[in-house]
Amino acid sequence: MKKVMLIGYGAMAQAVIERLPANVAIGWIVARESHHQAILARFHGDVTPLVDPLACEGVPDLVLECASQQAVAQYGEAVLRRGWHLAVVSTGALADSELETRLLNAGGKLTLLAGAVAGIDGLSAAKEGGLQRVTYQSRKSPASWRGSYAEQLIDLGAVKEAQIFFEGSAREAARLFPANANVAATVALGGVGMDDTRVQLMVDPATKRNTHTLHVEGLFGEFHLELSGLPLASNPKTSTLAALSAVRACRELAQC
């Protein structure tokens, strides 16, 4: 049985727990103390709640971050320094180049999950031949942008038609919208980097989906990809596919 340490106990973590493959068990959950009683009760004591990954007395086969960019900054380096395998979904944390360097030099094994988008394998392959232009657009409902920096840029309640409210680099997008623009960072890391990946963020009152549009031009030719994902019912910011990419990481663990 492979044992996973989950970081986070929100919408994505719940979706992962519900879909956990056979031969994989959650051994530990790093969560705020307010969740610890609920975790103990739900798993009948078989899962240890922690406030810090380093309080773990065992060795997880995988540490699966499903929490926040802030959690990656807080725990990522220490987890890797222990020699553990860390899979990160809050990839936008790497928009902080100093943190990125520390994570890459910490040892262990760092996996960046594809999250809510597809095509990262093709983008990385295209990069081998030379890329000329990568643009990424995210289109979500007003509900998905609520509670984010978008509220300072646009009146989400008054939007009547699809509107771009942010244009900039992937680095700016990932840092300004930590719960909404990790895909921008994922695309950047697979392609032309944080500063050269151009990003548009859009609010669309007519949609209930999270739509990710990727346009890539290079010496290989070009591709255009549009992925229209259903958000998790428990968090409209987060696409179901992002949670499934974390489940997939657990399945790969079960197979090795």
Ligand X SMILES: O=C([O-])CC(=O)C(=O)O
Answer yes or no whether residue 182 interacts with ligand NDP by CB under 6 A: yes
**DSSP assigned state of 242:** H
Answer yes or no whether residue 235 interacts with ligand NDP by CB under 6 A: yes
Find which of ligand X, ligand NDP, none residue 208 binds, CB within 5 to 8 Å per kind: none
Active site residue 36: no
Kindly tell me which of 123 and 179 has the beta carbon lying closer to ligand NDP: 179
Main-chain phi, psi angles of 158, to 5 degrees: -105, -5
Residues at the interface with ligand X (CB under 6 A): 116, 179-183, 210, 229, 237-239, 242
**Contacts of ligand NDP in 77-106 (CB under 6 A):** 89-91
Distances (CA, A) of 84 to 13, 110, 115, 181, 253: 19, 9, 21, 26, 13
**DSSP assigned state of 20:** P
Catalytic residue among 35, 36, 44, 212: 212
Tell me which residue has its CB nearest to ligand NDP: 10
Answer yes or no whether residue 71 interacts with ligand NDP by CB under 6 A: yes
Rounded to an integer, what distance in angstroms lies between the CA atom of residue 252 and that of residue 256?
6
> Position of tokens 């307010």?
34
The annotation status of 182 as a binding-site residue, yes or no, is: yes
Between 122 and 161, how does the x/- string for binding to ligand NDP read (CB under 6 A)?
A: ----------------------------------------
Q: Minimum distance between the CB of residue 226 and ligand X, rounded to whole angstroms?
A: 13
Query: Which of 5, 6, 12, 126 touches ligand NDP by CB under 6 A?
Result: 12
Answer yes or no whether residue 10 interacts with ligand NDP by CB under 6 A: yes
Strands 163-169 and 198-203: antiparallel
Kindly tell me which of 188 and 220 has the beta carbon lying closer to ligand NDP: 188
Find which of ligand X, ligand NDP, none residue 142 binds, CB within 5 to 8 Å per kind: none
Three-state secondary structure call for residue 4:
strand
Kindly tell me which of 69 and 169 has the beta carbon lying closer to ligand NDP: 69
Q: Minimum distance between the CB of residue 124 and ligand NDP, rounded to whole angstroms?
A: 16
**Contacts of ligand NDP in 29-58 (CB under 6 A):** 30-32
Q: List, in sequence order, every beta strand (DSSP E) within the chain.
A: 2-7, 24-30, 48-50, 62-65, 85-88, 109-112, 131-140, 163-169, 198-203, 210-218, 221-229, 231-232, 235-239
Asked if residue 197 lies in contact with residue 169, where contact means CB atoms within 8 angstroms, the answer is: yes
What residues line the site for ligand NDP (CB under 6 A)?
A: 8-13, 30-32, 66-71, 74, 89-91, 115-116, 178-179, 182-183, 186, 235, 238-239, 242
Catalytic residue IDs: 212
Annotated binding site for NAD(+): 116, 182
